[in-house]
Amino acid sequence: MDTKLLATIIQGEAGTMGPIGMMAVAMSLSCRIWQYEHDMQRIAEEYFGRDEPGPVATLLAELVEGQELPKSNYFYCMGEAVDVVPRNWSDGDAVVRVGDDAIHLYQHWPEAKNDISETE
């Protein structure tokens, strides 16, 4: 397992949100790797964020590698500004919000919101 790549992804996906946002990404990574046996190639292809990892991202990557995070059912991890809002998706099953940023965690692929503006 490439712990450096995991740390780089965690930092890139949620570093601006601090430890809480990075934990959400780490939980999603752990779910995919340990519960669904995704390999590092697939992880690298499906998580786009990359940044030089700090100590929190590095620690979380080590916890993912060591299977030390609790199991979760949150397979999908989407950024609010880059994924959820532009695609008009419903909020995640869990939403981690820090300031103006948010990460949405989903158990299943997100669905578009119903357009309730059409009431007639």
Give the pLDDT band of residue 115 (cuts 50, 70, 90): low
18-32, 45-59, 80-94, 102-116: which range is least confident on average? 102-116
Question: What are 15-68's pLDDT values in tens digits?
Answer: 999 999 999 999 999 999 999 999 999 999 999 999 999 999 999 999 999 999
**Cβ-contact 40, 85 below 8 angstroms:** no
Residue 117 reports pLDDT greater than 90: no
For residues 82 and 118, give the distance between their C-alpha atoms in angstroms, rounded to a whole number.
26
Averaged pLDDT score across all residues of the chain: 94
For the chain, what percent of residues have pLDDT higher than 70?
95
Give the pLDDT band of residue 116 (cuts 50, 70, 90): low
Give the pLDDT band of residue 120 (cuts 50, 70, 90): very low
pLDDT at 112: 93
The three-state DSSP-derived secondary structure of the chain is CCHHHHHHHHHHHHHHHHHHHHHHHHHHHHHHHHHCCCCHHHHHHHCCCCCCCCHHHHHHHHHHHCCCCCCCCCCEEEEHHHHHCCCCECCCCEEEEECCEEEEEECCCCCECCCCCCCC
Q: In the numeric block, which tokens belong to residue 32?
A: 């995919």
